[in-house]
Amino acid sequence: MQHLPSTGFLRIKHIIGDDTANPPIPPIIPVSRSGWWAGVKSGRFPQPVKIGRATVWRAEDIRALIEQINKEEVA
């Protein structure tokens, strides 16, 4: 998994990955774009924050999501 900052904001391409970037960005959460947005809508994934025209997610929320997913996998 790539380095995840302890604070700050992430765009969707940093969360679900972007193979077309140079260099490619590996996914933190390996889901499709539509799957991510469906998870946001259902409440499974964190709600985004709008900064100007950009849609971003708090790094803290993504860290909490990863911990939640890891706990579900262990159980």
Question: In the predicted model, what is the mean pLDDT of residues 9-21?
Answer: 96
pLDDT by residue (tens digit) across 34-53? 999 999 999 999 999 999 99
Model-level pTM? 0.89
Domain-wise residue ranges, the chain = 9-74
Tokens of 69: 């997913």
pLDDT of residue 73: 84
Q: What share of the chain is helix, strand, coil (3-state, %, to 5)?
A: 40, 15, 45
Higher-pLDDT residue of 68, 74: 68
